[in-house]
Chain A
Amino acid sequence: MADYEAIVIGAGNGGLTAAATLAQHGVRTLLLERHNVPGGCATSFCRGRFEFEVALHQLSGIGTEEKPGPLRLLLARLGVLDRLELVPMDDLYRVVIPEVIDITLKPDRDATVAALQAHFPAHKDGIAEWFDLLWGLFGEVIGAFYFKDPQVTREKYPLFHRYALQTSAAEMDRCLKDPVLKTVASAYWTYMGLPPSRLALTDMAALYFAYSEFLPYHLRGGSQALSNALAQSVLDAGGDIRFNCGVRRILVDDEGVAGVVTEAGDTIAARQVVSNVSKVATYVDLIEADRVPLAVLDELRQARIGPSAFTVYLGLDAEAADLGMTASTTFIVGDTDPDRIYARMFQREIGPRDGMLLTCYNAIDPGFSPPGTCQAALVTLKYGESWRDVPPRDYADEKYRIAADMLSAAERVFPGLRGRVEEMEIATPLTHQRYLGHPQGAIYGFDHHVKDSPLFVANRPHIRGLYGAGGWYGSGGFQPTLESGVAAARAVLRHLNRSEAR
């Protein structure tokens, strides 16, 4: 007799939405989280008089009440929308290439096109063509997949057929030409972790479409507010949550998944398990080797672990405006060649040629930190390998050294930053690995090359009753991982023959 109908391992974004969806459909659900707080990436931590947002920079897919985006609808269905304070951002982002350009774009396609055309009049037509292409292509993706068109033909979806398997660089080079213009217009590539020469054009289109059409948002109280609200929904629906309860083993027998064994050694039986643990750890560490299907090992072999990040969280004793933090999102780009920036993501060093992002929510949420202060997260993508072999006794010194270099690079845009730091916490790829359990501290899961898209690597159960949720089973980032949990839960519901209607 099973203890639960379904067990969800991990209370990250995907685990939380999976557990909430299951519990709300009457499935006897247990959510296990090895940490003492829910959220995974979607958490916050306190230092001194500051509460730092760990991971959320711009929440996509929310939209307005009049024109709701998919994530707003999802959160409403899960009953958490009323528990959240959503703060729309009035800027898409600011891009600064020191000594070259400083431009702020609005979260509106027409305004973005107009602003870019005003700055780059020689490329007026190319700019229009580029945005037409992104919107046209993503419109076809929505028609074919979100609305599940049963007949996806070349005649109905010509852009999709032509570009679905292409990377972004060729069309971008053709339309935008100027390296500065390209840098400004494609700064969001870092949200997917691959430069335009490697990033699928559909992913580039998705980024710009989603943030422009549905606006970027901040959550008051940070992403922890969302995680806490989702955990509350699980409890309200009758689900159980155990914090401080890691899982050591997913039990598999001849009929499929049979349950889990916790770190404390308790066996909990269930025939449906949603793993919000990395796909690598799920199949390499949690399941007995002789039960792992070869097909999933092929999938793992095809994939490459994606980038982690080096992040400096700053509590500052000055107002955001006094430090020049005019936009909530500022990309500082030290090189107009994104391939060189990408190459630097494999090195531990940080310098003036890197790309980095500074997020300061005080710009739109003055209450985000105490009066007279502001806080910022300064982050750059780094693959985890370069940190793996730092000798333990040098680790702290190395953190400080790299953080100092990073602040120096940021001070070209925000002079005086370093002199106002009251609280500082540094997160290396190993820090991200420590708290997420992700191999090499990857924050978006695997690299999302075209070959790794769901067209070729579908998120399907390799073992009967075992489902994946989170960035390792699809796209990374908040909206995709929140959606992936719901998708996993729906697969469980179908298996259990439960109605999806509430």
Chain B
Amino acid sequence: MKSDIARKLDGYDALMGEIAAARKYGSDFTPLRGRLQDAVARLHPHRVALRVSRVIDETPSTRTLRLVPAAGNLPPFQAGQYITLFFDLGGVRTARPYSISSAPSQTAFWEITVRRVAEGLVSNHLLDLGPGALLESSGPAGTFVFNPVIHPPQLVCIAGGSGITPFMSMIRETVQRDLPRRITLLYGNRRLDDVIFHAELNELARSAVQFDYIPVVEDPPGNYPGRRGLIDAPLIREACGTLDDKVFFVCGPQGLYDHVLPQLEAMAVPRRRLRCEIYGAPANVWEQPGWPAEVDRHARFTVTLPGGRHVEAPAAVPLIRSLEKSGWAIPSLCRSGTCSLCRLKLLSGRIFQPPGVPVRSSDRRFGYIHACVSYPLSDLEILL
């Protein structure tokens, strides 16, 4: 019927000529079969197959793994971004994010630096790998990056412990590419032999005009000539000079944020000149503000999944870990509450999410949670 209408419209014949020409000279998509997404896959591959090419001892508790592509090329990344490695450890499929410590200009390999965690299922597995071992990662992700459009070119980087890794990438990039930036690194560690990349950082500070290095050791040997104690406001002021032409980057364990962020706030550093890296789910979640006092942190609850299957889940363990431990594979990247990949729907029951977890407002309304930072406070029923 519609084409009958069309035939009577003014300009019909001319338009039919236009259609005939378009069909004759138009685009043929069929040769693109299987290649429609190539341009995206070069930038953001879903998975990257990697091979360990070198293992470098850094400190008594840390090692750097150099990772080369098992096939093809590595996708690009921005200094400060992370990759997530995927593991299948005895039937437990899990994942962990690691900041890339090599520079983006180094396209032949990525390096990640891993600290051994007592009873750390993944860190112990990873640190025992040797050259030749195969790994699978996500593409690079994360927003802990310098943005030249809005950030002043003077960076103050405040690192604690293994939080140094994204800064290594930023510093190496700035020096290697001779970028018009200036970086001051304040790097706090408990003991002197915890300091990762200490020799390289000293050497870079000596040779590169863009970079200043201020290590701060809480409990150094008696004869240590450098800074002692914690990174605090007087030290930051001394290191920075003026504050309002600097952008601050902070990466480290929870204790570093608890200690440094209030001081930066007291110095009136606006949020637009402050970026904090995510750093995993909180340790000791029951100490977070808002944890309900009536829920015993040793309590164990039952999670009911689609199909009526059950999983046991302790209150103080992120839900995603309890699910993984029972053999369920949950998509995840950041494992810190922000990437939303592990979003799932809570059909019934109560969970605790630490304050400030960025969950979409309508997701909250419709009962979606980020499983990597959700802790059961009762029996739960969920939809994957």
Contact = CB atoms under 8 A, between A and B. Distances in A.
A6 B379 CA distance: 34
A69 B189 CA distance: 63
A77 B262 CA distance: 51
Contacts of B365: 221, 225, 228
Interface stretch (A90-98, A267-275, A399-407): A399-407
Contacts of A289: 30, 33
B150 interface: yes
Contact of B10 (A165, A224, A229, A395): A165
B206 interface: no
Contact of B272 (A298, A387, A421, A458): A421
Contact residue range for chain B?
35 or more
B198 interface: no
A232 interface: yes
A491 B40 CA distance: 34
A471 B143 CA distance: 31
Contacts of B29: 280, 284, 300, 439
Given A47-B143, A289-B33, A392 B43 contact: yes
Interface stretch (A118-126, A131-139, A430-438): A430-438
B266 interface: no
Contacts of B107: 393
A280 B36 contact: yes
A85 B2 CA distance: 38
A197 interface: no
Nearest to A299: B23
B43 to A, nearest CB: 6
A456 interface: yes
B361 interface: yes
A439 B36 contact: yes
Contact of B43 (A45, A166, A395, A454): A395
Given A305-B27, A420-B272, A392 B36 contact: no
Interface in B61-90: 73, 75-76, 78
B39 interface: yes
B362 A225 contact: yes
A46 B340 contact: yes
B5 interface: yes
Contacts of A67: none
Contacts of B34: 285
Contact of A36 (B2, B105, B340): B340
Nearest to B32: A284
Given A284-B29, A393-B104, A439-B36, A424 B331 contact: no
A392 B75 CA distance: 7
Contacts of B9: 160-161, 164-165, 455
A468 B338 CA distance: 34
Contacts of A304: 22, 26-27
B358 A166 contact: no
B360 A46 contact: yes
B203 interface: no
Nearest to A301: B26
Contacts of B27: 300-301, 303-305
A455 B148 contact: no
B40 A434 contact: yes
Nearest to A153: B8
A165 B36 contact: no
A396 B143 CA distance: 12
B271 A154 contact: no
A152 interface: yes
Nearest to A298: B23
Contacts of A243: 343, 384
Interface string B324-365: 000000010000001011110000000000000011111101
A422 to B, nearest CB: 4
A222 B362 contact: yes
Interface in B93-111: 104-105, 107
Interface in B179-224: none
A463 interface: no
Nearest to A305: B27
A357 to B, nearest CB: 19
A422 B271 contact: yes
B11 A284 contact: no
Nearest to A373: B271
B242 interface: no
Interface stretch (B12-20, B120-128, B225-233): B12-20
Leading 10 A-B pairs by shortest Cβ distance: A46-B358, A422-B272, A225-B362, A301-B26, A165-B11, A221-B362, A421-B150, A302-B22, A455-B6, A228-B366
30 contacts: A36-B340, A36-B343, A37-B343, A44-B362, A48-B358, A154-B8, A161-B9, A162-B10, A221-B365, A224-B363, A228-B363, A232-B366, A280-B36, A284-B33, A289-B30, A300-B27, A302-B22, A302-B23, A304-B26, A389-B39, A392-B42, A395-B43, A396-B76, A400-B148, A424-B147, A424-B149, A430-B40, A434-B44, A456-B3, A458-B2
